[in-house]
Structures are given as structure tokens and as C-alpha cells.
Structure 1
Amino acid sequence: MRLDFVPGTLCDERMWGRLLPLLGDGFEFNHVPLPKAHTREQMLELIGAHSALKANLVGFSLGAYLSVEYALTHPERVQSLTIIGSAGKKLGDKEKTTRERIIPQLEKNLYTGMTQMRLREIVAPEHLDDAELIGIIQRMAVDLGKEVLLAQFRSTIERPDLMDRVRALQCPVLIIGSEHDKLVPADDVRELADNCPNAQLHLLSEGAGHMMPLEAPQALAHHMRTFYTKPRCQV
């Protein structure tokens, strides 16, 4: 089975590096190069251009939001959806304010990677001392750089709320969130699952903040393997 992975803000295929080896045999992995896009429309076009004709989309954070939007626009192109770290909503007021503050700072200054404040927002406290995990996040941030971050922030700070529209999804949906995700409240993830007609929900109770593919790859691999062995997900 082919899985098409869509990364989050300032992430690339390295976001999935801890997860993929745990999924086992029987999968082919493909990565949508989201950082190449400069607008939300281009991001959606990249998903279409770099995914299978009947795609099993696996999206994280921004990539999960975009995967849902793509599935709603092109239902004939999506076999299944795995949504990690997203509730399909427009940005909350706190995160929107944070980005509005960061954008002018980025425009004027050199970008040297995630600040400690931002890391504490996206990583659970028990993983802040994981040098390998933090290193992956920082290398993605520095390598992708300021222009990618600015493009992703500017093009997605205003986006439609998909919470009600997901009722139209007909494909199987796996939703994975965390009780301790500071960016995507667990109650919003529960609401998303309630609104999706064919959704399975798993909320991680410990060991993960927002960066679940890096923080809790074993749990994600277990839930994904179970999901993809169900008959409707097989292609």
C-alpha cells in the first residue's frame, strides 16, 4: 500500500523519520514536497501532483489540514485520510496572534531556528532534553529557512474552518491527537471525529505534545497499522 505523507509547517520528510521504520512491510512511502509551495492553492496543487490517483493521505498539522481540504475538494482522489495534530479548524486566536507577531520579526531579522519558547509550545516537557528529537526539528527549521516559514505563515494564517464540512467526507479517516497538544486542543480533535462519518479517534494520553510523529512514533505506528489493515483502506 502506498502512503502519501504531507508535512506540517517548516517540516519535510524528516518529520516522519522515526515513524516509517516502525510501520513494517507492505507499505510504500511517498512525500509531498510542501515547502516548495508559496500559497495555500499551490500547496493543494502539490498534493494532487505528488499523490496517488486514489491516495492514502497522511497529514501532520498544516499538512493534515490541507489533506482534509484536498479530500473535500477532490473526494474521488482520496482513498483514506490519516489526520495527525489537526482539528481542521482555522487558527485559534492565540496562535494567530503569535504568528502575526512573528511575521514582522522574521521579515526584519536573521532566522536561526526555533526559539526555546516555541519548542516548549510544540514539544512535551519530557522530550525537551531529547537532543536527537530537538535536533531534527531545528535542522528542518534552519534548512528550510526563513522564506519557507514566511510563505507558510502568510498563506495559511487566514484559512476556512473545515469542522462542519468534514461531514461530507466518505473515505475512512484516522484521527490522532494528544491530550497535551498546546496548539490543537484535544476537545477540538474530539469534535472533528464526531463530525466525520467514518472516523476512528485516538488521543494520546501521555508522552507527546504537538510533534507526535517524532515524540510518539510507536503509538502512531500501532494505530496506523491497525487502520490500514481494515478492508476499506486496502487498495
Structure 2
Amino acid sequence: MKEIIYLIPGLMTDKRLWSRLIPHLEDEYELIHFPIPLSEDFDEIVEHLDKEIGNKKVNILGFSLGGYIASYYTLKNPDKIKRLFLVSSTPSSTEEKDIARREKKLQEAREDNFSPLNLEKAKELLEIKDDEELIHIVSSMFNDLGNKAFVPQLASTLKREDLFDDLVKLNIPISLYYSTEDRLLNHTSINEILQKENNLKVISREGTSHNIPLEFSKELSIHIKDWMSHE
């Protein structure tokens, strides 16, 4: 029987996020995509995930916002998690410098003033600028999910608490993989994690990519396989 890995996407991403990663992993693992429920309450979100997982003991990988959800779930249900992997994500609160900007965007979205992500803006979010299919995937995920997903997902980011100290007390393999110049990542949290003695395996790659599962799927799959090899 294959080991199960639950895959949790991030803000305004869906199962298409894993489309280039799955071919590298599907022969070895059972990969289950968990779409983020339309809720801004992390307790409610992880209740949905717990119903999905049931009595199984699984591995869990989260990207960006999904990494925080995966961390939150792991702390709520440590007996159900074998391993935790965070991609372009930290188990931390939102930085003060980002809160006002997000609150402004949230207010606009609540007033139904939703700005679609055109191809040019999608391209700006990527490290790889010449992959047309990739640009279309990022734009389509955002626009298809739309305002109904954007409002609760963005609102949830304003309710994050720092989970790091509790997370590192768990005796499970935890890996964190990120790009050194990712402008969407909380680098203050990364620096704090690197300075504290803990059991996290922190792996960095040179570059700006936030969407690592799409842009650098092969490299990510190698680190996932290594993570899965640890008991």
C-alpha cells in the first residue's frame, strides 16, 4: 500500500498547482488534493480536513497559506500526522507591514471590487517568465476561484498566530522549502527559525519563485522523497 500525502494549496490556487509535481511522485505515493474550504476560520477549515482524513495516519504537505493550514492541523491532531512539509510557507503570523495592505484589499473584495489576474500580472508572479502554459495556469486558478474564495482566504491570513514554538515540540520530520528572494514569503520568520535550535529541516533555493510546485516541480519532488524517507 502506498503512503498517503495530503496536498493543501495556497491562496487562490487549486489542484492545478500540483499538475507538474504529481507525475514525479504518483508512482510511489497516494496523493490527495484537499481544496481549502470557503471559511476564514482555521478551526472550521481543519474540521473539514479531519473529516477527510478520518482515522488514517498520513503525511501532509502545504503550500503557502496551505502550509499554515497544514501546521495548524498538525498541532490539533498530532497523532494523525507522520510528517509535515511546508513549501513557500512559514508557521507564523502575518507581518505587521502586510496587514494594512491586506485589510484594504479585503475591504475592496467585500465590496465586490474583485480584480482578476491578467496574464501580465501572472507573469510578474513567476520566476520563469517564458512558459506560456505556466502563466495561463496561474492566471486561470486565480480567476476561476474568484471573489468567493478570495474573501475568506485573504481574511484568514489576518487571523494567523505564530505556531512555530509549539510545532517544533512535535517529534515528527518537518521540512521547509523556500526561495531566498521570494517576496511573498515572511523572511523575518525564516530568519528566526534559522537562528533557533529546532528540528526543522530548512532547505532554500536561490531565486524568486513562490510557486515552486509549478515552476520547480522536479527539484521539489526530490526533497519530498527525502522527507518521506525519514521516520
Instruction: Report the TM-score when normalising by structure 2.
Output: 0.88
TM-aligned CA distance change 1:193 to 1:21, over 3 Å: farther
Q: Distance in 1 between matches of 2:45 and 2:123?
A: 25
User: What is the 5 A alignment of 1:1-235?
Assistant: 1-23=3-25, 25-51=27-53, 53-114=56-117, 120=124, 122-124=125-127, 127-186=128-187, 188-192=189-193, 197-206=198-207, 208-230=208-230, 232=231
- The answer as to whether partners of 2:182 and 2:209 remain within 8 angstroms in 1 is yes
Q: Counterpart amino acid of 2:75? A: L
Q: Counterpart amino acid of 2:67? A: A
TM-aligned CA distance change 1:195 to 1:75, over 3 Å: farther
- The answer as to whether partners of 2:122 and 2:135 remain within 8 angstroms in 1 is no
Return 5+ residue gaps in structure 1 as ranges. Answer: none
Q: Distance in 2 between matches of 1:109 and 1:24?
A: 39
TM-aligned CA distance change 1:198 to 1:88, over 3 Å: same
* CA-CA distance at 1:165 after TM superposition: 2.0
TM-aligned CA distance change 1:58 to 1:100, over 3 Å: same
Q: Distance in 1 between matches of 2:177 and 2:153?
A: 23
Q: Counterpart amino acid of 1:104? A: Q
* CA-CA distance at 1:74 after TM superposition: 1.3
TM-aligned CA distance change 1:118 to 1:102, over 3 Å: farther
- The answer as to whether partners of 1:59 and 1:67 remain within 8 angstroms in 2 is yes
Q: Counterpart amino acid of 1:165? A: D
Instruction: Report the TM-score when normalising by structure 1.
Output: 0.86
- The answer as to whether partners of 1:15 and 1:214 remain within 8 angstroms in 2 is yes
Q: Distance in 2 between matches of 1:46 and 1:6?
A: 12
**Which deviations, in whole Å up to 9, do the C-alpha atoms of 1:117-160 show, x marking residues without a partner?**
6763x432xx2342211211111111111011101112331221
- The answer as to whether partners of 1:68 and 1:88 remain within 8 angstroms in 2 is yes
SS in 1 for 2:59: strand
TM-aligned CA distance change 1:98 to 1:129, over 3 Å: farther
Q: Distance in 2 between matches of 1:218 and 1:119?
A: 21
TM-aligned CA distance change 1:227 to 1:196, over 3 Å: farther
* CA-CA distance at 1:60 after TM superposition: 0.5
Aligned-pair RMSD on alpha carbons?
Answer: 2.2
TM-aligned CA distance change 1:184 to 1:44, over 3 Å: same
**Which deviations, in whole Å up to 9, do the C-alpha atoms of 1:92-127 show, x marking residues without a partner?**
12332221121122233453522656763x432xx2
Q: Distance in 1 between matches of 2:200 and 2:8?
A: 19
Q: Counterpart amino acid of 2:19? A: G
The more displaced of 29-38 and 177-186 is: 29-38
- The answer as to whether partners of 1:35 and 1:144 remain within 8 angstroms in 2 is no
SS in 1 for 2:160: coil
Q: Distance in 1 between matches of 2:138 and 2:97?
A: 22
Q: Distance in 1 between matches of 2:53 and 2:109?
A: 32
* CA-CA distance at 1:197 after TM superposition: 4.1
Q: Counterpart amino acid of 2:44? A: Q
Q: Distance in 1 between matches of 2:52 and 2:165?
A: 27
Q: Distance in 1 between matches of 2:40 and 2:90?
A: 23
